[in-house]
Amino acid sequence: MAGEEDLLKKWIEESNNIVFFGGAGVSTESGIPDFRGEKGIFKAVNDYGVRPEVILSHSFFKVNKDVFFDYYKKNLVCLDAKPNKAHIALAKLEEEGKVKAVITQNIDNLHQKAGSKNVLELHGTLYKNYCIKCGQQYDMEYVMNGPIVTKCEKCGGVVRPDVVLYEESLDTDVLEKAVYYIQNADVLIVGGTSLAVYPAAGLINYYRGNKLVLINKSETGYDSRADLIIRENIGEVLGKIRN
């Protein structure tokens, strides 16, 4: 594995136009469970009788708000989670002018906590919340300190997290920016994702370069197109490059 990591380090040192695209595997090393993983699916079915993808869908949210918010507050919010080696390394590489953008499918704000500035959150963030009736915005503290279904103090509407639920569309502006950065990247590092969730995974198709790096413990549907594959934890790999 040393040879692959040495090549990645060489590409990083030679480039000032790197884009990182990450998924749930980036955050699991911070102790945040992957709700799409086997354990996450089992827990949701065992506790609520349905899969997490159902609970986190727009149609389920509309008619089962009590269950939605109970699951979301107990399973998605991890206030004690701290950035790991991957988040810290990417923030350092951005500070050095090497990483131009971090594109993430995660909603946990850990890249920002580590110091990354240009973070494109494809699926939104748990740290921003808004009233579905009047649009008033609220922080995480307001939501977590309120009742299970948090209500707006202005109009009484339901306050929901600013995340993209299943059946909802990704933010067009964020999507366009992600496409731009990927199209123009010299090195594209994809880590901690099986690239199975669309439309986010389809963004890889916009990459035009010849330094596509996949860092993931398991195989992905894009392995045949990768120029470099490293089967290790993303935090360990990037941590060696930027401690």
User: Any idea which residues carry the catalytic annotation?
Assistant: 123
Task: Supply the DSSP symbol for 158.
Answer: B
CB 106, CB 27: distance < 8 Å: yes
CB 204, CB 183: distance < 8 Å: no
What totals of helices (H) and strands (E) does the chain contain, helices first?
11, 9
Report the C-alpha gap between 110 and 120 in whole angstroms. Answer: 12
Please provide residue 10's backbone torsions phi and psi, each rounded to the nearest 5 degrees.
-65, -45
Report the C-alpha gap between 175 and 122 in whole angstroms. Answer: 7
